Amino acid sequence: MSKKDIQTENEVYFLGSKESRDKKPNPQKKWWLIAAACIAVVIIVALLTLLLRKPTTDYYFEPETEEAVYTAGITPDTIQPIPGDTVKGYVEILEETVNDVPMFVYVPHHATLSLSVGIPDTSDSTIVFITQAADIRGDNYEIVGDFVLAGEKLSRGVAKTGFCAVIDGEVIIGVSDNTPLLQKAIEWKGYFFRQYPLVDNGILIENNPKNKSIRRALATRSGKVIMVESRSAESFHDFAQALVDIGVTDAIYLVGSNTAFGWYYDEEHKKTEYGTVQSEELRNISYIVWRSE
């Protein structure tokens, strides 16, 4: 067998015309296709991001599930002090961490606590701190549990045994399904609402919801009424345990998650808002209001 014959037998032939075999690939066309594909992917990702980040104001009650969030999402809105302003109330903000649970501790100074139904007037210069209080139902948007506003009973129910009573300026946080403080709040033109109990006389109280979320609590520590907010998504158990560990003696839950709306003024009278302003149709959303004394 000749050398030519050996070369012929070792050659590999592909199906197709000779033109297709001889045609060389066009590198410019290849890179153009890759660039077009990349642009298409970027556009799709951008559209999905916009859709997923679309805000909602239809917040009725805390969702049963929520993705873990590792910052409180607080957005500062700085307002310069008003010349001649004599308001002396303010909120001190402390950062504390225990058992890997980071928290903000809000300590109102020279301020008294009351309740409001519907968002308070944002131009009211006497307000130093507001935060959402009682939950509302998802079916009829009514307040959940007993609620008294300046002596008027607006709703009833004891599904949640934690309570806060404000009578003649005194704030009492406790746990009971039948407390005489409810009737006393009515008679004394005071305030009363119910929420999940978290801590009772220094003892952790377990609750059924098992999801994780940004948590908030109205609490007493060293005889002072404070508000505590987790800076990361936590379970009820871990949040309540953290409250006990920082010295809280009594605490009830407040509306949590990143959507609950509120604001406060610090000692320099700078305003910070957090959460999402609720729809005007949700008229039964209640707030704890601290006003300057």
Residue spans per domain, the chain: 90-292
Nearest to 218 by CA among 190, 254, 246, 256: 254
- Residue 98: its pLDDT value, please? 95
Q: Chain-centre distance of CA 284, in angstroms?
A: 19
Contact 133, 193 (CB under 8 A): yes
- Given a cut of 70, whether residue 136 has pLDDT beyond it is yes
Q: Is the pTM of this model over 0.95?
A: no
Interatomic CA distance for residues 259 and 213, integer angstroms: 11
For 76, list phi and psi in degrees, rounded to 5.
-75, 140
- Residue 46: its pLDDT value, please? 61
- Given a cut of 70, whether residue 99 has pLDDT beyond it is yes
Interatomic CA distance for residues 156 and 142, integer angstroms: 10
Share of the chain above pLDDT 70, in %: 71
Q: What is the chain's percent helix, strand, coil content, to nearest 5?
A: 20, 35, 45
Taking only the tens place, the pLDDT of each residue in 198-239 is: 999 999 999 988 889 999 999 999 999 999 999 999 999 999
